[in-house]
Amino acid sequence: MNFIEQKVGDVLVVGINLARATLQEADSFKQLLYNAMDKGERKIVVDFSQCDFVDSTFLGALVVSLKRMTQAGGDIKLVGFRPAVRSMMELTRMHKVFDCYESVQDAVKSFS
């Protein structure tokens, strides 16, 4: 299982169960988020706490999904950056594009 889905209230939490989130899994990840949106999910939290590396293709999948989600009136929030992922997010200024939180609880709370 590369991605673990879990419902917390009306928020869908997607845990990335990969040490390296790269182009191999980017498509299936994008598909998962798209499917969730099609099913009507408007509050999604993506949990990176198991993740040590995120490549540009995977980041791309995230951003495309966020664009679709904001157009649909929802939001995707990110949590659990490890140091390498955090510096990647900061360098690419992605932390300004997404709302980022320390923990899943914080992110879930921010939706309400």
Q: Check binding of 112 to other proteins (CB under 8 A).
A: no
Nearest to other proteins of 35, 56 (CB atom): 56
Between the alpha carbon of residue 26 and those of residues 106, 108, 111, the distances in Å are 26, 24, 25
Nearest to 36 by CA among 56, 57, 10, 55: 10
Contacts of 14 (CB under 8 A, 6+ apart): 3, 4, 5, 6, 32, 33, 36, 44, 45, 46, 47
Minimum CB–partner distance for residue 104 and other proteins (Å)? 22
Which window, 8-16, 32-40, 93-101, 102-110, contacts other proteins (CB under 8 A)?
A: 93-101
Exactly one of 19, 84, 103, 106 binds other proteins (CB under 8 A); which one? 84
d(C-alpha 31, C-alpha 13), whole Å:
15
Judged by CB under 8 A, does residue 93 bind other proteins?
A: yes
Q: How many residues bind other proteins (CB under 8 A)?
A: 23
Residues near other proteins, by CB under 8 A: 23, 53, 55-57, 59-61, 63-64, 66-67, 70-71, 84, 87-88, 91-94, 96-97
